[in-house]
Every structure is written in structure tokens, then in C-alpha cells.
Amino acid sequence: MREDKKTILEVNKISKNFPGVRALREVSISLRVGEIVGLVGENGAGKSTLVKVLAGIYRPDGGKILIDGVEVQLNNPWEAEKQGLAFVHQQLNLVPSFDIVDNAFLGKWVRGRGGIANRLAMKKQLQEICQQFGFTLEFSTLAKELTTSEQWMVQIVRAFLEQPKILVMDEPTAALSDQEVKSLFETVKKIAAQGVAIIYVSHKLNEIFTLCDKIVVLRNGEKVWEGSNGEISQSELIAKMVGEGRVKSSFVTAEVGKDKILEVQSLSDGSKIKEVTFEVYEREVFGIYGLQGSGRTELVEMLFGLRSKEKGEVRLKEKTFSPTSPEKAIAEGVALVPEDRTREGLVTKHPVIDNIALPHLSRYAGLLGYFKEGELRSIARGVLDKLRVSYRGLREPVQFLSGGNQQKVVLAKWLIGDFSLLLLDEPTSGVDVGARRELYELMHKLASEGWAVVVISSDLEEMMEINPHRVMVMREGRVVGILSPEEISRENILSLCYRSE
């Protein structure tokens, strides 16, 4: 019956160029009232650019945007908002020292008498929206004290203050638990039923298939496919996103060695990590699965010298290992691909070579502290080629690379020199489908070369796709089970995760 609903948003042949990049090429999309359109594509396909054009952050170089059949100019975020567009952005934009109420109403404060912010009214409105979503939030909590998923909730709530006509959601579920995702979907559907048109951007194809009426695929800034949900299978959709020429590769899984690389015994930090015990062998890909708050990231921080231990013992290659700083962990042969690439992994405005050089500066020091860049250059090129990074030159700032290539640069930092343990914390967040597969493949390749690879993920599908030798499941700071190859299955992992005591 959607056919007789009227079109509310029409994006007509929008183009956007950046120096050296055509981010969008004559992309057209239309949305009807109450329709949920899934926007998919690899990183760098143009999804975020399109979202930013709609948000009034970027001005398009060509094309038209029509709302209710009237051409509109979206020159800044306020105009976009006035036209009835609301956004839940990929990045979290909260003021750390403000509480939930102030963040949700930032710039939209409800004024009482004399222009004084009416917190009571704001709280009431928040209460209503939270109830509608099934979110439980303590409104007086400061943003800096919120978990990532709570920060997302605030963003989502904020988007709904203005009763938008069109809602754009850019990867809203990245940090939400399955339960939270479920309730979010229910809400999204409820809102759509009330007549709001929704653009839903996600890397998670199962979400797209669950939620969306229509699917639009972008590739290299162009629309390559558009159709209704049900017309296409997941593998066909992936093929559209990835394009021709790239086939799914099956990983070469190496035989796990006998030597223990990492032994962790009753490790505790006094708060988030409790009595964690496990070991990882040479040539093993070891998965750690846990939801937000399970202690998985904290465990990595302890192994990398970022968090101090209270008790327990860690041995690396049979020697006692208790690093007090990343520098010491690195010196012992531990490498980390951190969770947040742009915050922890890269100096994004600096060139590729400078980023790769960082952990190795003292190795490439000559007379008077001279940095032997020339010597590192050829080695860096070799590593980047091995990882199949596409980059224009070693002096290209990493911020101009796609998410997948950026992540490979982070990985490249550790492929120079003597390392034995590679820790990867959510290595594919913000990485497109094609590059994800490559990263999984690389993990196994590095393992076959003798590394012990520890990969952390809160995405079950991803964990299954990585196909690790063993999976350890964490919950509330404890190890609740380590699954052998025969035991690894979605059901077993989830039952460990949610099993009640």
C-alpha cells in the first residue's frame, strides 16, 4: 500500500567532489512517508557524505533536494532541522561535562519564564521519549560518565525532540547490545508507522534486512542498486556493495603450535577484571567475545600496560610479564590494534610513514638522533604492500584513506620488528565488508607466520566469520567459558553470555 503514500524527500542527482575524490556522483534517492530506506555500501562509498549533505554540513556541487515537492537549500544544520530532518550521527557529539538533560536539549532548551531553562519541562519530555523507547537513563548523569551505549541513547532521544518528518540514522547500533537494538528497532518501526520517513545507514546487513522496506546500495559514490527488501539475498547484496572481481576467500587456518605465547592466571585489576585465566598458543587465533561492560577492553588494557593489575600473573613466552606502560609492552613484543582507530590508533593528520614509524623511532635513530626515514621507507612499503593498502604515497595523511585502509595502517605499524602477540580490539568497526574479510584473512595469515593473535569482538556474526581456533566468552569481568573448535557456535556463545547464575 506504500505506493499511494506521497514522496516526502527527493534527492535528485546530487554530486559532491572533494579534492581528488568524487564522493558522490549524481545520486538520487526518494523516500515516501513512513518508509524505512536502508543505505548500504562499503566505507568510502559515499554514505556518510550523503548524510552530511542532508544535514547541511556539506554543500553539494550539483543536484537538487526536494522536501514535500519543494526544492530546499540546506546550507547549515539549522536549516536542515527546520526542514524537518533529524539525525543520529555516527560520531557521538556530547558535551562531557553536561548531564543528559542538557545534552539532549543542547541548543533546544525549553525556556520558562524570564528565559530561564525549564528543566522540569525538559525532564518530562525526556521521560516520555525514553518510555517510548524503553530506555532507562539517569538524567542527572554527566555525559563523561555514560557508557557508549548510553551516549547513543541520548543521541537518539535528542533526535526525537523535534518530531522530525525525516530521520537519518547513521550506524546507530554500533555500540548497543542486542537487547537495546531490538527495542530500538521496535521504536523505529513505531515512528515509521506514524509517518516519519527514515534513512537507515548500517554496515550490519542483518539489521537492514530486518528493518528496512527499501534498500539502496552505494559504491564509489554512485548508486548501483535500489530495490525493495526481499528482492535480494544477503550474498547478492554484498556482491553489489563490493563490486565485481573480488571473491570471498576461505582463510588458510594454520595448525596451532605447542608453545604457549601468553599465559594469564587469575588476573584481577580490582574493579573490572576478576580472576581471568586463559592461555594463547603460538599460531593461534584466539577470539574473545563479550558485550559492552564485560571487561574485554579492560583486559586488553592490562595486557598492554595501560591498566595496573591488583593480583594474578601474566607470562609472555614463559617469562613474567607485567608492563607498566605501552612502551614496555611493545618492547616485550606485544602489539595492539586499539578499539578506536582515530583516537588511539593514528595521528590522522600525519603522513602514513610517520604513523608507521612511531613505535620504532629508537630503532631507526642515527647520529644526533637523526631519524633514518630512508631506511624505514622501503620496509614500510613492503609491509603496506603485504597488507594490500591502497595509498597514494608514504607522505599522504592517513585521514584521506578509507576506514579499512586506515585500519591496515594501524596494523602495519606492528609488522616491523619483533613481535609475538597481536591484540585486536574490535578491529573492524567502521570498516567496510570487503576490507573486513581481508582483515580476517590477515589475522590467520599472521598466525600462520607464528604470531599469537587475540581478537576481541562484540559482534557475534563477526566472531563466526573470523573463525578463530578458540573463543573465550567474558561476562562482567569474568571468563564464563572457553570454547574449543568443535564447540564454537552462535548458540553456545550466546548461552554463555546470557546464562543466568
Partner 1 sequence: MRSILKNYGTLLALLVLIILFSFLKPQAFFTLRNFINITQQVSILMMVAIGATYILAISEFDLSLSYLVSFAGVMVAGMMVANFNPWFSTVLSLALCVAFGALNGWLIANLNLPSFVTTLATGTLLGGITFWYSGGTIIFSGIPESFLVLGQESIVGFPLSSIFMFILIFISWYVLVKTILGRALYAVGGNEIAARYSGVRVAKVKIIAFVMAAFHSGLAGIVLTSKLGSAHPTAGGGYLMQSYAAAFLGTTLFREGEANIWGTFVGAMIMGVLANGLTMLNVPYFLQDIFTGAILVGALILRTSREL
Long-range contacts of 327-330 (CB under 8 A, 24+ apart): 329/303, 329/304, 329/305, 330/359
Rounded Cα distance, 310 and 242, in Å = 47
Rounded Cα distance, 126 and 460, in Å = 32
Q: Which of 346, 431, 442, 488 binds partner 1 (CB under 8 A)?
A: 346
* Binding of residue 384 to partner 1 (CB under 8 A): no
> Of 81-89, 122-130, 367-375, 458-466, which segment contacts partner 1 by CB under 8 A?
367-375
Rounded Cα distance, 323 and 330, in Å = 9
* Binding of residue 370 to partner 1 (CB under 8 A): yes
Rounded Cα distance, 392 and 349, in Å = 15
Q: Which of 348, 448, 467, 492 binds partner 1 (CB under 8 A)?
A: 348
* Binding of residue 375 to partner 1 (CB under 8 A): no
Task: Supply the minimum distance, in Å, between the C-beta of residue 346 and partner 1.
Answer: 6
**What is the CB-side half-sphere exposure of residue 289 using CA atoms within 13 A?**
30
* Binding of residue 430 to partner 1 (CB under 8 A): no
**Closer CB to partner 1, residue 99 or residue 354?**
354
Q: Which of 91, 320, 362, 378 binds partner 1 (CB under 8 A)?
A: 362
* Binding of residue 359 to partner 1 (CB under 8 A): yes
| ∠ Cα 498 499 500 (to 5°) | 110
> Of 100-108, 204-212, 258-266, 348-356, which segment contacts partner 1 by CB under 8 A?
348-356
Site for partner 1 in 306-335 (CB under 8 A): 306, 325-327, 329-331
* Binding of residue 120 to partner 1 (CB under 8 A): no
* Binding of residue 397 to partner 1 (CB under 8 A): yes
Residue with cell 569482538: 457
**Closer CB to partner 1, residue 122 or residue 356?**
356
Q: Which of 164, 312, 345, 427 binds partner 1 (CB under 8 A)?
A: 345
Rounded Cα distance, 15 and 323, in Å = 51
Rounded Cα distance, 417 and 333, in Å = 9
Whether 70 contacts 82, CB under 8 Å? no
User: Coil, strand or helix: which one is 176?
Assistant: coil
Q: Which of 193, 368, 393, 486 binds partner 1 (CB under 8 A)?
A: 368
Task: Return all residues near 438 (Cβ < 8 A) that are at least 6 apart.
Answer: 388, 404, 408
C-alpha cell at 424: 585486536
Q: Which of 145, 162, 259, 344 binds partner 1 (CB under 8 A)?
A: 344
* Binding of residue 369 to partner 1 (CB under 8 A): yes
Q: Which of 254, 357, 480, 496 binds partner 1 (CB under 8 A)?
A: 357
C-alpha cell at 78: 539549522
* Binding of residue 96 to partner 1 (CB under 8 A): no
Q: Which of 13, 95, 365, 487 binds partner 1 (CB under 8 A)?
A: 365
C-alpha cell at 259: 608453545
If phi > 0 it is left, if psi is from -120 to 50 it is alpha, else beta; for residue 315 that is beta
**Closer CB to partner 1, residue 38 or residue 56?**
56
Task: Supply the minimum distance, in Å, between the C-beta of residue 180 and partner 1.
Answer: 27
Give burial (CB, 10 Å; 0-12/13-18/19+) of 331.
middle
Site for partner 1 in 143-182 (CB under 8 A): none
What residues line the site for partner 1 (CB under 8 A)? 304, 306, 325-327, 329-331, 336, 338, 343-350, 354, 357-359, 361-362, 364-365, 368-371, 397, 413
